[in-house]
């Protein structure tokens, strides 16, 4: 971002950016720990994620407050205003990702409290989670480096994640049909799979905000081809 005459303005912008990255790192850890909790049933991990959720909520409120005060005091324009608006929208998505991680932990606790010793289709579920985490990591890296190419890759990756989710969904429905005794457990797994798929969607939201920040383009609700044409200046033949 360009430097300003007021060094205090630059300091405030950098503080906002640093706090976003701190919140993002915490949310990313929450998701990883949630999958560990699902694999092991370890209540220590569950409790850690729930404690982190409180910190994430506090950071969300703090960042909103910083952005509101920035708008009121500095009246940012152009790229600076896009930066503030990107932060407001992105931290909302990050907080929602943290919520998903917390709820995955709660479902994991329910599964193990019911006496289950393993999670059906866990390998497939964990593979989807790794893909969603990779998308989140790329989106956050794109924000840190203002990299629209990386942001566009996150949007491209979402199609693969959706396909993998639908494949797992079919497997789990088949499992319930073949053995009705698994219905309750399988519904929990289906909910977790959907939560992971939503984490990928929220990572896409962050990536779209990076494009808005850097290019000033609103690419929400556009197809992948339209995004690449607008952002990467690709033609239909490329």
Enter the tokens of residue 14: 């950098």
Band of pLDDT at residue 238, cut at 50, 70 and 90? very low
Comparing 28 with 236, the larger pLDDT belongs to 28
Whether the per-residue pLDDT at 237 is higher than 60: the answer is no
* Cβ count near 172 (within 10 Å): 21
Show Cβ contacts of residue 154 under 8 Å, excluding neighbours closer than 6 positions: 135, 138, 139, 142, 203, 204, 206, 207
pLDDT digits (tens, 9 = 90+) for 75-107: 888 888 999 999 999 999 999 999 999 999 999
Instruction: Find the Cα–Cα–Cα–Cα dihedral 198, 83, 141, 137, rounded to 10°.
Output: -20
Enter the tokens of residue 196: 């992971």
Read off the pLDDT of each residue in 156-181 and give the average, rounded to a whole number: 94
pLDDT digits (tens, 9 = 90+) for 171-221: 999 999 999 988 988 999 999 999 999 999 999 999 999 999 999 999 998
Structural domains of the chain sorted by starting position, each given as residue range(s) with its CATH number in brackets: 7-231 (1.20.58.220)
Count of CA atoms in the C-beta half-sphere (13 A) of 50: 14
pLDDT value for 74 = 85
CA 101, CA 46: separation in Å to the nearest integer?
Answer: 10
């Amino acid at each position: 971002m360009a430097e300003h005459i007021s060094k205090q303005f630059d300091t405030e912008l950098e503080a906002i950016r640093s706090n976003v990255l701190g919140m993002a790192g915490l949310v990313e850890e929450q998701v990883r720990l949630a999958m560990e909790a699902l694999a092991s049933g370890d209540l220590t991990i569950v409790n850690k994620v729930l404690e982190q959720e409180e910190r994430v909520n506090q950071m969300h409120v703090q960042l909103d407050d910083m952005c509101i005060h920035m708008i009121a005091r500095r009246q940012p324009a152009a790229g600076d205003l896009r930066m503030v608006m990107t932060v407001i929208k992105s931290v909302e998505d990050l907080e929602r990702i943290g919520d998903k991680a917390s709820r995955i932990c709660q479902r994991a606790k329910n599964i193990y409290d019911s006496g289950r010793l393993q999670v059906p289709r866990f390998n497939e579920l964990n593979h989807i989670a790794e893909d969603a985490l990779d998308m989140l990591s790329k989106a956050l890296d794109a924000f840190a480096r203002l990299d629209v190419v990386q942001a566009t890759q996150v949007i491209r990756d979402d199609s693969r994640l959706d396909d993998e989710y639908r494949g797992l969904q079919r497997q789990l429905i088949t499992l319930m049909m073949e053995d009705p005794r698994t219905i309750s457990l399988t519904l929990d797994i289906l909910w977790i799979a959907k939560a992971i798929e939503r984490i990928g969607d929220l990572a896409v939201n962050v990536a779209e905000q990076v494009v808005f920040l850097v290019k000033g383009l609103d690419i929400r609700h556009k197809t992948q081809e339209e995004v690449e044409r607008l952002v990467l200046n690709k033609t239909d033949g490329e």
